[in-house]
Amino acid sequence: MVKLDDIKKECKSILEEGKVKYIVGYKRNNNYYMSIPAFIEKIEETDQLIWDPTCVYNLVRFLRDEKLRKERQKTPDTRPIGVIVKGCDSRAINVLLQEKFIKRENVYIIGVACEKSGVIEKKKLRKKFNEKNIKQIEFGKDNNFIITTEKGKTTISAEEILAERCIECNNNTPVIYDVLLGEKVERSLSEHFRSLEKFESISTEEKWNFWKKELDKCIRCYACRSVCPMCYCDECIADSISLAVKPDTTAEEKAQKIRWVEKSPVSSENFSYHLIRALHLAGRCIDCGECERVCPVDIPLRYLNKKMEKEASEQFGYTAGLDPEKPALVSDFKDDDPQDFII
């Protein structure tokens, strides 16, 4: 397992050398057991950094904020920012590079291999522990997590509280980095798309009932969109906008907005929103699980994206974020792409 000291050492050294403006990593959130994102500018702040199974966040999201900030500044500091990425997160960087949203020189990538472990899923954790009692979760030996509560330390097999996406992950080592910490180890904890099986074997009506129940809960808070590193558009087509409103935009032009999705959180519009989102993330989603993590009403959003990931992989041999030089899933084709469903 990656040593926290190695991460700190690397971060110190790049800050010392002035290679990066600041580093986005993880730190402790006061006494709470979950980590939070940390923005490390000074060498002494590197001591705040942590690396444990609660480092769930995909920090690549902050590259967008940085880009926007830089665009607003007159004389921006053009040095890259450092970002700590897991295997999944690193693929997000590749997608952003593929879509020319960022440039390689804008980011210093500190890759951290998950090796045979990963991050926790709160839902699973809650089933086993009273969250309030948890002080800390650490990586233990032999794929275990060590959970510290008021009563002391408990060792638990990682798989019991490991995020489902980590169990299904086959990119446990970053695919792009400036420095790689930890070891590149092969692992297959599970079938890559195992969690989808339970959906694919049920009847059409059962599928519908499931998703109807889930998506009807959506309150359209757009947290899923806000947290997603791929949702970097200034204007989302789900916001009934196909045209940017400027001071000189006429009423007629405003009327030319297409309302693909209405704002009301009703069934039809929720479906439209989430289906368009899934399609827009096809070939781009790297399964960092952030959308599902932030959903206040616990919609299992990940499965919609996972389904697209599965079809991309099985029908078109495409995996998001592996090669920034290749065309995207939907801007490419093979002559012999499957077409059995076409009449």
Partner 1 sequence: MRKRIGFFICHCGINIAGTVDVKKVSEGLSKYPGVVHSEDYIYMCSDPGQSRMVEAIKEKKLDKVVIACCSPTLHETTFRNAAKVAGINSFQCEIANVREQCSWVHKDMKKATAKAIKISKAAIERARLNESLEPISVPVTRRALVIGGGISGIQSALDLANSGYEVILVERSPSIGGHMIQLSETFPTLDCSQCIMTPKMVEVSKHPKIKLLTYSEIQEVAGYIGNFKVKILKKPTYVDPDKCTLCDECTKVCPVAVPNEFELGLTRRRAIYIPFPQAIPATYTLDINNCPGLFPIACGKCADVCEPGAIDFDMKPEILEEEVGSIIVSTGYDLYGKEEMAEYGYGKYEDVLDGLQFERLLSASGPTMGKILRPSDHKEPKEVVFIQCVGSRDPELHCAYCSKICCMYTAKHAMLYKHHVHDGQPYVFYIDIRSGGKDYEEFVQRAIEEDGVIYLRGKVSKIFQEGDKIKVWGVDTLSGKVIEIDADMVVLAMAMRPSEGASELAKKLKIALDKDGFLAEAHPKLRPVESLTSGMFLAGAAQAPKDIPEAVAQASGAAVKAVNILSQDRLYHSPTIATVNLTLCTGCGMCVDVCAYEAIKLEEGKAVVNEVLCEGCGTCSATCLRAAIKVKNITPLQVHEMIKVALGG
Partner 2 sequence: MEEKFEPKIIAFLCKWCSSAGSDLAGVSRMKYPPNVVPITVMCSGSISPNYILSAFKDGADGVLVSGCHPGDCHYIKGNYYARRRITLVKELLEFIGIEPERFQMSWVSAAEGAKYTEIIKDFVKELEPLGPQNKLRSNL
Please, what is the minimum distance in Å from the beta carbon of residue 197 to partner 2?
12
> Is the Cα torsion angle 32, 37, 43, 49 positive or negative in sign?
positive
Judged by phi (left if over 0) then psi (alpha if -120 to 50, else beta), residue 180 lies in beta
From CA 41, how far away is CA 210, in angstroms rounded?
Answer: 46
The residue range among 49-57, 171-179, 297-305, 328-336 that interacts with partner 1, by the rule CB under 8 A, is 328-336
Residue type for position 285 = C
Please, what is the minimum distance in Å from the beta carbon of residue 331 to partner 1?
4
Q: Which residue in 320, 314, 318 sits closest to 340, CA to CA?
A: 314
Contact by Cβ (8 Å): 66, 49: no
Q: Which does 268 bind (CB under 5 to 8 A by kind): partner 1, partner 2, none?
A: partner 2
Nearer to partner 1, 8 or 61 (CB): 61
Binding map of partner 1 across residues 69-108, x = CB under 8 A, - = no contact: -----------------------------xxxx-------
Q: Does 180 bind partner 1 (CB under 8 A)?
A: no
Nearer to partner 1, 256 or 264 (CB): 256
Q: Which does 235 bind (CB under 5 to 8 A by kind): partner 1, partner 2, none?
A: partner 1
Q: Does 219 bind partner 1 (CB under 8 A)?
A: no
From CA 128, how far away is CA 124, in angstroms rounded?
Answer: 7
Q: Does 244 bind partner 1 (CB under 8 A)?
A: yes
Which residues make Cβ contacts (< 8 Å) with residue 114, sequence separation at least 6? 86, 87, 166, 169, 172, 173, 182
Which runs of consecutive H residues, i.e. helices, occur in 82-128? Answer: 87-98, 122-128
Q: Which does 304 bind (CB under 5 to 8 A by kind): partner 1, partner 2, none?
A: partner 2
- Considering only 205, 331, 339, 342, the residue that binds partner 1 (CB under 8 A) is 331
Please, what is the minimum distance in Å from the beta carbon of residue 322 to partner 2?
17
Nearer to partner 2, 258 or 297 (CB): 258
Q: Dmax of the chain from CA atoms? A: 67
From CA 239, how far away is CA 62, in angstroms rounded?
Answer: 22
- Considering only 210, 222, 232, 271, the residue that binds partner 1 (CB under 8 A) is 232
From CA 64, how far away is CA 57, in angstroms rounded?
Answer: 15
Residue type for position 99 = E
| 3-state secondary structure (DSSP) of residue 38 | strand
Q: Encoding tokens for residue 36?
A: 């939070």
Which residues make Cβ contacts (< 8 Å) with residue 296, sequence separation at least 6? 219, 221, 223
Positions 251 through 310 that interact with partner 1 (CB under 8 A): 256-260, 280
Nearer to partner 2, 9 or 213 (CB): 213
Q: Which does 262 bind (CB under 5 to 8 A by kind): partner 1, partner 2, none?
A: partner 2
Please, what is the minimum distance in Å from the beta carbon of residue 175 to partner 2?
23
Q: Which does 207 bind (CB under 5 to 8 A by kind): partner 1, partner 2, none?
A: partner 2
Please, what is the minimum distance in Å from the beta carbon of residue 279 to partner 2?
5
Query: Which residues sit at the interface with partner 1, rule CB under 8 A?
Result: 98-101, 232-235, 237, 242-244, 246, 256-260, 280, 327-328, 330-332
